[in-house]
Chains A and B, each alone.
Chain A
Amino acid sequence: MAYSTRERTSHVLRRLGMGASAGLAASLAGPDDAIAAALDLTAPPAEPPDMEPPPDRESARNDRDVETAFRFWLGQMAGSPRLVEERLVWFWHDHFATSLRKVRAPYLMWQQHLTIRRHATGSFAELLHAIAVDPAMLLYLDGAANRRGAVNENFGREVMELFTLGRGSYSEDDVVAAARAFSGWVVNVPGRPRSLDRADPWAAVFVPFRHDGGSKNLLGVTGRLDAAGAVDVLLGHPATGEHVAAKLYRCLVGLPADEPTRKSLGAVFRRDYSTLALVEAIVADPAFTSDAAVRARVRTPLERAIGIAQGFAGHDGAGRALVRGLRAAGYVPWLPPNVAGFPEGERLLDPHRLIHGFDLAALADPRRLGGAGGAELFARLGVFDVDPATLDRLDRTGGPAVRLALAVNAPEYLVA
């Protein structure tokens, strides 16, 4: 199927940003323009809100901090002019999936979010070094319980399986070696007998006597590796660049990278681990704007919600409706179902998620609709090439409010 220029322009914004961005699409001449706009980082980044470190573990568990964070983050997804930054912030959250359910303290999730945001378009190497000793990650994958003589393998395994090499490039011995290298880090939770005054509250602290300082052999590199040393070994392995590059390719193009593409993108990425350079290499591939790539992904509940917010929101309860809708879909930021991140692809087509797509319609303000017909509703969602039968069906149905609820659940909007 050959898509219109408008649909292909929208496609670029959907993939490089987090929502439908219909307003922006209307101002652009075509896909190349859209790529330039989405990758343009000259607008200054928004200033994230301040969050006070909670005085102790109990007061850390509060909804207020979640609200502060989500208002900023979801607002950025819907409104930031730095499109690719928001796409990558989400990509890295999904990649380094960490759950508030186990971490408990939104303050730590927020610190991790700021770390990801700081490095999102920059160096993956720096990001990985930061994540390896990130307090929320130390709690989520039990790094804080990993010490000399009682090695906890959780982070050591997942960092290779999911975050860097991918399966098949390491052995069980490497898991143990990595876990030993990462041992010794704890989180300085304030208000406890063993809290340290010399370190910031909630900071990650290296405790030498908990670290296994012995020699390790990790992926063929032998030495008294510590956390930073182990991360460098992982970054030096060619599988890391390929694994991460192929994952980002799949996210942006919507199709799997073939073997030559995987190899060449991996080599590009490994040069200096610049994420923006990797994005540029991926969008330069003709596959990115090919007809095969358009609508090749299932639109995630989060992307659906952001698109609705961009096209129709504005009422007071929109923020609450957004989180409620995402909860029904099991797609709330900071609550990935497991360490592998959020579901994607056809797994999102299960009946529960599909039917609760109607919950997301509550994000919209029907008073802002006027007498909009089907084509106009779709245009505000950045969807242009719609089956005439779908439009006809929509125009024959109910009032504008019901038409809206249907449009945001139409098959054409469920793909992206």
Chain B
Amino acid sequence: MTAPCPLVTRRRFVQGLGATVAVVAAGRYGISVWGRHPAAAAPAPPPGTWPAPNGRTLVVIEMGGGNDGLNMVVPHQSAAYHDLRGSLAVTDPIDLDGEAGLHPALPSLAARYRDGEVAVVEGVGYPEPDLSHFASLSTWWSGDPGAVGKTGWLGRWLDGAVGGGDPLAAIAIGPGPAPALAGDTAFAVTVQDATGLAPDVPPWVDDPAELVAAWAGMAAAPVDSPSLLGRVRDAVAATAAARDRLAGALGPARDVSPGRRGGLAASLDVAARLVLSPEVSPAVLYVHGFGDFDTHQGQAGRHAALLGELDEALASFFDAVATGGAADRVLVMTASEFGRRAASNGSGTDHGTAAAHLLVGAAVAGGRHGDPLNLRKLDRRGNPVHTVDFRSLYATVLDGWLGADAAAVLGGAHETLPLLQSG
């Protein structure tokens, strides 16, 4: 898998830079999406282990815009569901157990469910829900309802388990940094696609590697005070340092048809390569920028297309990791800021609250978990009341999959759910 070329590149790069600079810089660097805790108020770093036990990887797939959980996991026997949804009700779900079914665009997930590798968690939300995308996203990212100016839940795990140690311990795959990975000291690389961190240099540049090495050298100048310029230099040095290792891990560029570029299939192709690479050992892959699930309008077709994309991409991903012998090392989990309003607005659904989520992988305890939403007892805005706190989902994977002290990461104890096979 590893061509000789990246090795040469790396050697030249290290000579040009001085390895210590990169490591020190990486330690000081963090993308402060929400600003930082005052040092005094920062909680003690939670204990945790990294690499995760047995090289495990948690893959989070964020369904941006608010996924309609009710039409993904369909309570097809519920008269209330059909009343509320009218023509938007899914009439041909793939039945799971006579009570709930998956959207017909999810055939391979349904097959995987029958194999016991899908845990469906119904009713996931948080108290006093905020219907704003941005407020609700902040809540899901931080793991702390109503939080402003805080780190991400996985960023705090990184701070404790990894610190500034390895910028590739958690990797965001998507259009930009993932706020859920923002830590105080930890640093998570973002890749958009399988090119990793390779610049598309102008034709008049002969040697991109030399260019990047010289660039890192420019960033090595000492800074006298904690200025923005200093943080920019840190970012440059850390980027240059991460570049070569990623190039080795991702291997030679594969053709991705332009139509799929940026799509979930391409993101999960990157995820599979990173899971299988011996050069990196990412404990967390955070896939975001998937979809616009904000289906206020034209929902039937749009939602079906998005779920179809999820189904196909997950099937390819699990095929790839199974072929590489890593099926038991990956756990996929969905996230989304909220579900949709219980009632249809005619052609779509407005912002809602609680929704179903999925955990997929050989290690899950398959079946339906949580409690179905009560569609006869809506809040005054017409939304169902959550039955599972999303932090229970987080606590379950932190504790059961990443081997972390979930209470320390989440700032309090939350019930874990029996979503994973024991051991």
Contact = CB atoms under 8 A, between A and B. Distances in A.
A152 B219 contact: no
B37 to A, nearest CB: 15
A327 to B, nearest CB: 10
A398 B348 contact: no
Q: Is the interface of B mostly helix, strand, loop or mixed?
A: loop
A352 B178 CA distance: 12
Contacts of A393: 214, 217-218, 221
A364 B203 CA distance: 11
A354 B235 contact: yes
Contacts, number: 172
A346 B32 contact: yes
B238 A167 contact: no
Given A172-B131, A349-B31, A398-B210, A154 B296 contact: yes
A51 interface: no
A202 to B, nearest CB: 19
Contact of B232 (A149, A387, A414): A414
B238 A351 contact: yes
Interface stretch (A89-97, A186-194, A400-408): A400-408
Contact of A356 (B199, B227, B294, B347): B199
A239 to B, nearest CB: 15
A330 B212 CA distance: 21
Nearest to B208: A358
B199 A355 contact: yes
B176 A145 contact: no
Nearest to A153: B350
Interface in B209-225: 210-212, 214-215, 217-219, 221, 225
Interface string A339-363: 1100100110111111111110110
A298 B200 contact: no
Interface residues of A, number: 63
A337 B179 CA distance: 15
A321 B208 CA distance: 18
Interface of B: 31-33, 64, 131-135, 175-177, 189-192, 197-206, 208, 210-212, 214-215, 217-219, 221, 225, 227-229, 231-233, 235-236, 238-239, 242-243, 289, 292, 294, 296-297, 345-348, 350-351, 381
Q: Which 10 A-B pairs have the closest CB atoms?
A: A150-B346, A358-B199, A362-B202, A351-B239, A349-B235, A145-B297, A389-B221, A350-B177, A142-B296, A411-B232
24 contacts: A142-B296, A147-B346, A150-B346, A150-B347, A152-B297, A152-B345, A152-B350, A154-B296, A296-B228, A330-B176, A350-B176, A351-B235, A352-B191, A354-B235, A355-B197, A357-B199, A358-B208, A364-B202, A389-B221, A393-B221, A401-B205, A409-B236, A412-B229, A414-B232
